[in-house]
Amino acid sequence: MVMDVLIALGFAVVVLVIADRLLLLLESHGHLNWRRNGRKKLPAEPGVDLERLLDEPVGESR
């Protein structure tokens, strides 16, 4: 029983390490920006107001 838990934990650690190495490899080749960039700056106000979306009648195209 204890051996099964240790094997499962070891397998989880191996999967996480391999995923981390894969992300670093993809990032170093320019396929992915994972750690270098911080979060994107969001605008102070949302781009679409909910009121404007609700004002348009259903079935009417833009």
Say what the pLDDT of residue 27 is.
84
Amino acid present at 25: L
Residue 49: the pLDDT is 65
- Please compute the mean of the pLDDT values over residues 3-17 and round it to a whole number: 97
According to the model, what pLDDT value does residue 30 have? Answer: 79
Q: What's CA 22's distance to the chain center, in Å?
A: 15
User: What is the predicted pLDDT for the residue at 41?
Assistant: 74
Domain boundaries, the chain: 1-30
What pTM, to 2 d.p., does this model score?
A: 0.51
Per-residue confidence at 59, pLDDT binned at 50, 70, 90? low
